[in-house]
Structure 1
Amino acid sequence: MSLDHDDSGQHSVRKENEARIFDYRPTPLDACSIETCSGQCLQWQSSESETSEYENSIVAHIPMCLGCYQLDKTTGTRQGQLDLYAIPVVKNTSREQSSRRYSIQSFGDDKDNPPLTICGGTTSKVSGILDGKWCPTPYQRQSELSFENYYATAHASGEIMIHNIFADGATISDINTKTRNPFQAKFAGKTTQEELSVADPNSPCLCLAIAWDQSCNNGNDAIPLNTRIISSYSDGNAAIHQIQQSSSGNVELSTSLEHCWPAHKMFNSPSEVWCCAFLSINNNDNTTYPTNIVATGGDEGCWKMWDLRTNLSRPIYHNTNAFDAGVTVLSPHPRQSNLLVVGSYDETIALYDVRYVSSSSSPTSLFHSDAIGGGIWRCKWHPKDDNRLLIAAMHGGCRIVQFADHLVAPQGRKCDHDAGSEIPIQFHSVFTEHKSMAYGCDWLVYPNDAIVAGKKDEVVEAAVSCSFYDQTMYLWSAPITDSI
């Protein structure tokens, strides 16, 4: 399996609960990843301070990054581009027009709110982007009128690049200027050629996937930033980089290679390592501690768990028989870190409780789906709703999965799943407008605290997705459903 394959063959997909299109945009190159930062947005004003003069106005912007990757078949080079969008959250003028107070139904006006090209395009030459990730909380500098975070990208050159994304709404006093893109970006750091040469300097490889360590700096707004990124490569290797910020006033980051090891093989030759993730340890008090366990998934159809305290000569767990094709997705639950969704090119997903994984056993999944109509490429847990999962399924479009309410225990309580027990799920939405491989997807959610408070009628949300060869991205409805 390769990212440079032809887009051939159409699989039939189910049409039940078809989602509704809100907005559409062509992408500058073949779109490979789309990532929002719904947990952290530029908030223009609190709902308590709104007055009638702000009717039908933008009350917040949610940042969204689109990463593109395109093979030039003439030269054999892989071009890239990273664009930063400001997704407007609009206050509805009348509850008669919408059942909710706010709406997210547009990528923004092309003329007044164009995307900011961070790298690539006419600004600079950059290698193709295959993956991108926002630095997870708790690293946030956020007040009502400010935003700051880091965004990392995986490149076809094998490099990882990191950008500082920021905005200061306090400098914009005119309410009309809120239609413009308020976000800015600065280059913050990247991996070096010397680090890349640890694997094989004579064999260039693609960086296929990256993930931040969500356990670092837990429980505080730790500045300077001190965290890690795991990355996986087309030459069969995986790596861990330490990411550090020199001081609170300096956005530049230093990167240093901590580990690099051969992770996956097929027929005694290196195989693509399509995905990687940190697996945190979640204790009964719901406190997450720094982790030494990581996971990788390879083109040979296996996923493995590794302990960074060992010499990494062998995994602590090796799943060999759950999937019939390459493992392409590893998605840990953001709040119940014992839960891990694994997706495959064989068109199925499986849910595991990693507490039951050991080197001497083959754990039974809590759920393993039938084929859903397309190879799995991304799985995104909802930023606040513990039981919903968004899936990009290549030629099968996108799906929203609803798990049973008892998937995650209430705050402060231990969540125990019996080994081998089945978790009920249902596929309650499908989006099939993409005419090519749906490679990227993510959630847009505002306001975030409404879900926690159980006020579903106040929750405003949508989904975004992008596809490869037809160079499109869509913003579409993601309806909230009743529990199962």
Structure 2
Amino acid sequence: MALQCKIQTLQVVDTDYSADAVEWCPVEGWEAILACGTYQLKKPDGKNPDESNQPQVRLGRLYLYHFEEQIFAPLTEIQRLETAAVLDIKWSHVPIAEHPWLAIANAKGAVELHCLAGSEKKSCRLEPLCSVDLGDDCLALSLDWSMGRKQGGRPLQLVSSDSRGRLSLLSVDESSPSVQILEQWKAHDFEAWIAAFDYWNTHVIYSGGDDSKLKGWDVRGSLKAPVFTSERHTMGVCSIQCHPLWENLLATGSYDEHVLLWDTRNMKQSLADTHVQGGVWRLKWHPTREHLLLAACMHNGFKILDCQGAMVENKERCLVLSSYVLHNSLAYGADWSRLTLKDPLVLSTEMPKVHLDEGAARLDFEVQNLKIVYESPTATFDVLLDEDQNPALPVQVEGSFDFQGPGPDGNGSNTKAYNKTELAKAQQETSLLATCSFYDNVLHVWKWETSQAVSSA
């Protein structure tokens, strides 16, 4: 058997402000909705001499998109909200009062809740519900909902971390609606970059800070001290996600460029340690394929990790299946869609006929063995295999297991050759992803396909 991974970029959107958070709605029936949050420092215009003494103004904008599977422009913008700079956004995993809710952590130190209202998906709108101020001139840095496993009937809670190193446990009342602080405590010496629930035991919260520490907290007891502290990461811990499908499994990432997997029953030593060559700002487990982990690796793009070996075979690191390196700036926001796509990905061999605006330029450039044909900042570009450069390289930048072209002996003997009948038997799975990057102000939507080719012999 040979595993082949392919990527195709569907659309690139100019977000105007720096994009740092992107989330597909996970609620059944609303999976085609995508939210993107932005953060922009307002630059002084130089006209006011006293402006340098004023606090920085952090502007933000929240975009709402609808996805429809079509060739050229699958994303349609349906709403934009001007707001304070957005640091993190999270959809509720289940409907609240029959609608998805979106929580926003902003630069004014507040957590805001919005309801996605409307019956028509293309005309739905986010409506503000309530907010809570975390206090003391801070930035709200991260969010997590307690119902990551999509359980209903439990108290609705959020956890947020802030720039003063604190965690806030929030209670959400859907009938009012309202949100209030249940507990707030000092967790880290510097910025508390990330906080996340243990989805299997929501009394437990994990946090990571700029003090390079990963900590665990049990809100049923005293919050003066954590139940554990790990210094396994050597730099600031900025991403944590509990696995919603696999009990006792936790993923963490850090500025130290390492993704660690943990068995939450023993936090003294990590299960696996994978160097991804970029600070890990966000981690997302695949919603259905439990061994896949998506990592936003700041200066090194986005990576898809296969963690199965670490999960079931005690391997010490995860396998990097694919790298998405088409962003030109800090890789920050990343998420898997829950949508089921109709057609498997097909890498086209011809450029689509796109009408360019007058004066628009076509730029051809290469990323390792990938040839990128770029049409416009807000249209699409295709990833094409540049067979002229090196025909023996894999289709993917990293981690492709089915090689194209001749082998060392010139006749392709170093790889399994599949005919069309055998390829028809290949097990194909396609995932839809959204990623965004900071200083270049772009949101990408792309497909990732894996196929397990099976020989009939």
Shorter-chain TM-score tier: 0.7 to 0.9
Contact 2:296 2:303 in 1 (8 A): yes
Change (3 A) 1:157 1:84: same
Within a 5 Å distance, the mapping from 1:376-387 to structure 2 comes to 376-387=280-291
The AA in structure 1 aligned to 2:436 is C
Out of 21, 25, 33, the position equivalent to 2:9 is 21
Change (3 A) 1:374 1:405: closer
Change (3 A) 1:160 1:406: same
The residue that corresponds to 1:278 in the other structure is 197
The residue that corresponds to 2:329 in the other structure is 436
Contact 1:216 1:227 in 2 (8 A): no
Shift of 1:469: 0.6
Find the residue that maps to 1:480 and give its secondary structure: strand
Q: Distance in 1 between matches of 2:450 and 2:328?
A: 26
Contact 2:298 2:331 in 1 (8 A): yes
Q: Distance in 1 between matches of 2:149 and 2:172?
A: 11
In the alignment, does 2:123 pair up with 1:182? yes
Shift of 1:158: 0.4
Out of 103, 106, 109, the position equivalent to 1:155 is 106
The residue that corresponds to 2:47 in the other structure is none
Shift of 1:447: 2.4
Change (3 A) 1:425 1:23: same
Q: Under a length normalisation based on structure 1, what TM-score does the superposition of the two structures give? A: 0.69
Q: Distance in 2 between matches of 1:38 and 1:307?
A: 27
Contact 1:447 1:459 in 2 (8 A): no
The AA in structure 2 aligned to 1:130 is L
Within a 5 Å distance, the mapping from 1:44-443 to structure 2 comes to 62-74=32-44, 76-90=56-70, 106-108=73-75, 113-117=76-80, 119-120=81-82, 126-137=83-94, 139=96, 141=98, 148-169=99-120, 181-192=122-133, 196-197=134-135, 200=136, 204-214=137-147, 218=151, 220=152, 222=153, 226-246=155-175, 253-265=177-189, 271-281=190-200, 291-320=202-231, 322-357=232-267, 362=268, 364-370=269-275, 372-404=276-308, 407=311, 421-422=314-315, 425-443=318-336
Contact 1:38 1:443 in 2 (8 A): no
Q: Which has the larger radius of gyration?
A: 2
Contact 2:243 2:250 in 1 (8 A): yes
Shift of 1:481: 5.0
Q: Distance in 1 between matches of 2:442 and 2:148?
A: 34
Find the residue that maps to 1:114 and give its secondary structure: strand
The AA in structure 1 aligned to 2:167 is A
Contact 2:97 2:174 in 1 (8 A): no
The AA in structure 1 aligned to 2:205 is V
Shift of 1:88: 0.9
Q: Distance in 1 between matches of 2:305 and 2:118?
A: 34
Find the residue that maps to 2:100 and give its secondary structure: strand
Contact 1:133 1:212 in 2 (8 A): yes
Return 5+ residue gaps in structure 2 as ranges.
45-50, 344-424
In the alignment, does 2:433 pair up with 1:463? yes
Shift of 1:136: 1.3
The residue that corresponds to 2:445 in the other structure is 475
Q: How many residues align structurally?
A: 360
Change (3 A) 1:374 1:481: farther
Find the residue that maps to 1:407 and give its secondary structure: helix
Shift of 1:331: 0.8
Shift of 1:135: 0.5
Find the residue that maps to 1:384 and give its secondary structure: coil
Shift of 1:444: 2.2
Shift of 1:24: 0.7
Contact 1:448 1:459 in 2 (8 A): no
Contact 1:17 1:430 in 2 (8 A): no
